Amino acid sequence: MDISPTEAQQALDDIDKIMARTRRELANGSGPLQLVIWGLVWFVGFLGSYFLSGPKSGFLWLLLLIAALISSIYLGYRDELRVRYGGLSMRIASSWALLILFATLILWAATPKTAEQANLIFILIIMLGYGLLGIWTWRAMFWVGLVVSALAIIGYLFFFKHFFIWMAVLGGGALIASGIYIKKAGK
Amino acid sequence: MDELDPVIHQPVRLRIMAALMTLDMDAEIEFTTLRDLLNLTDGNLGAHLRKLERAEYVQIHKTFVGRKPRTFLSLTPKGRVAFLEHRRALEALLQSVDRALENNQG
């Protein structure tokens, strides 16, 4: 089969273009959008922790978490209708459920002295989940987990009194910014 | 040396193969999602998929999601190898042209 160099170049350009588009539109599914949603949850939730009383803040967190979980399950289901990863979605969802269960048990066993300490422990365990997800499937998540963990530790050590507002702006902001960046860059 | 594959070289089939190649090994893409991604019609995509299936490059998996029939598509291992060989053949062709030009200039 003979083709001209121009045709060969055109074919290679087409391949690169289609692969980039597929990666951008499908490879991560709703992942970037979910990062933005969870970033907004953190932003509003931690602002609530900073400005509201304990019970009101707890109620706000409960509402936010239920809304975010429902949206994550819906978006995950919608992804499955477009691209199926051989049961990977179910395994990831189960891993998150297990991690959240263990985070709750660790919090119970550790009996943290302050709400800030309890939140730091929970954040670090959730970010461990991001890191593992990054190692196993979606590489960008590894860095998200690392950066948010570092921000949480810095906030806890150096800005303890304003830890919640720190996490709202920088923790929530980092998740939102990561979601937007990953979507645009197709990482 | 790798050779160009006439089944893959057709522009629409090349785009189908490139899109499927981007997905993980065990991933399958739904028919209408691929159709929209490549801006094709149902008939056009279906016809080219049949040719790729005959060459054993593409696996077509029909199933039901709820009550709706859905068709999922993926590359076979043979299809992945064929695509990589075709791509290498295209690159080799361009490199040989570059070398010929350099020799002529030298």
Residues forming beta bridges with residue B59, ordered by sequence position:
B74
pLDDT category at A156 given cuts 50, 70, 90 is: very high
Looking at the partner chain, which of A1, A15, A83 has a beta carbon nearest the beta carbon of B28? A83
pLDDT category at B2 given cuts 50, 70, 90 is: confident
Taking the C-alpha atoms of residue A69 and residue A154, their distance in angstroms, rounded to an integer, is 28
Domain ranges of chain A: 5-185
Size of interface A-B (CB pairs under 8 A): 78
* pLDDT greater than 70 at residue B1: no
Domains and CATH numbers, chain B: 6-105 (1.10.10.10)
The pLDDT tens digits for B24-58 are 888 899 999 999 999 999 999 999 999 999 999 99
Residues forming beta bridges with residue B70, ordered by sequence position:
B63
Taking the C-alpha atoms of residue B105 and residue B8, their distance in angstroms, rounded to an integer, is 34
Residues of B in contact with A18 (CB under 8 A): 15, 18-19, 22, 38
Looking at the partner chain, which of B5, B22, B26 has a beta carbon nearest the beta carbon of A27? B22
Provide the ipTM: 0.90
* pLDDT greater than 80 at residue A75: yes
